[in-house]
Amino acid sequence: MLKGRDIVTINELAREEIDRIFEVAREMVPIAEGKKKSKLLDGYILANLFFEPSTRTRLSFEAAMHRLGGSILGFSNPSATSLSKGETLADTIRMIDSYSDVIVIRHPLEGSARLATEFATNPVINAGDGAGQHPTQTLLDIFTIVQEFGQVEELKITLMGDLRYGRTVHSLAVALSYLGAEVHLLSPRTLKMPKHVIREMKCKPEIHEKIEEVISDTDVFYVTRIQKERFPDPTEYMKVAGSYVINGELVKKMKSSAIIMHPLPRVDEITPDVDTTKHARYFKQAFYGVPIRMAILALVLGVV
Ligand code: NCD
């Protein structure tokens, strides 16, 4: 059902398609862990085009492809490519499309992945377009919640931190609202969720500025870093840096079953002493990036 499809926003995936991705991802877990071998993507080439820094997204797509016996080409430093000579994104995409079977792109401009789909014949997967969307991150985020709680419905999920510039929370808020979660948004006033994202949500979220309002009854805390690189003015950044910090003391006020997630990288929003508490799930969440991306690749390439 996903063969040949582009994945640019989470909105374009139907509920059954998300369920299918999760079903395949579950089968991929032992392969992602290295316990089982697979040649499912033998002979396929992934083009990984990273115009912005990345650790997890790029490397988990690479790990996914390697674990399934496929190959990878691409770059993580665009200054070393002909783009620095003035080549357009359209020309770069057209050509790389002819070298590969699927393209993964991360770019600082919103709308860049959509543009890439217009010049590629093969599937294009958006790995983050500026402050736009990050749909594969959303899939692994929801997968993590489902693996923990069995479902998303009726869970109280608090997205917190930089809701304005953080793209992971833009895709996630929309998806969670459609999946029946009770979504709460916690941010400083200057970093509120953009109105256009709230309009896309199925149910209106509750808005908070104080962590005390949600600390004791939230099931899932989704913490984000302040997106320093997207601030037009550094003094504005300094005003909000370190707004909410989850530390060992705060964790004691949480429900005993609550989990803490973070797309990573973290800066100082979660102190290291939280890592060893029963609530921390961010490293597990980062691992799930591999089986989820294996499932997405296998599905858009039409091998499962
Ligand atoms: C996020 C991103 O790039 O949007 N990282 C990721 O993909 N795991 C979050 C961030 O940079 O803060």
Probe ligand 1: pick from 264, 281, 293, max atoms within 8 Å of CB? 264
Full pLDDT tens readout for the chain, 304 residues: 899 999 999 999 999 999 999 999 999 999 999 999 999 999 999 999 999 999 999 999 999 999 999 999 999 988 877 777 888 999 999 999 999 999 999 999 999 999 999 999 999 999 999 989 999 999 999 999 999 999 999 999 999 999 999 999 999 999 999 999 999 999 999 999 999 999 999 999 999 999 999 999 999 999 999 999 888 888 888 888 888 999 999 999 999 999 999 999 999 999 999 999 999 999 999 999 999 999 999 999 999 9
Ligand 1 interacting residues, C-beta cut-off 6 A: 56-57, 128, 134, 137, 167-168, 224-225, 263-264
Domains, the chain, ranges and CATH? Answer: 10-133+288-300 (3.40.50.1370), 135-286 (3.40.50.1370)
Tell me the CA end-to-end span of the chain in Å, nearest whole number: 10
In three state form, how does the secondary structure of 269-287 look?
CECHHHCCCCCECHHHHHH
The pLDDT of residue 241: 84
Q: Pick the atom of ligand 1 nearest to 168's CA.
A: 4
Residue from 134, 160, 163, 262 whose mutation best tests the ligand 1 pocket (most atoms within 8 A of CB): 134
CA distance 199 to 235: 30
Cα–Cα distance measured from residue 183 to residue 216, given in angstroms and rounded to the nearest whole number: 15
Q: Which atom of ligand 1 is nearest to the CA of 227?
A: 12
Secondary structure (3-state) at 164:
coil
Q: What's the confidence (pLDDT) of residue 83?
A: 78
Count other C-beta atoms under 10 Å from residue 287's C-beta: 18
What local confidence, expressed as pLDDT, does residue 208 receive? Answer: 97
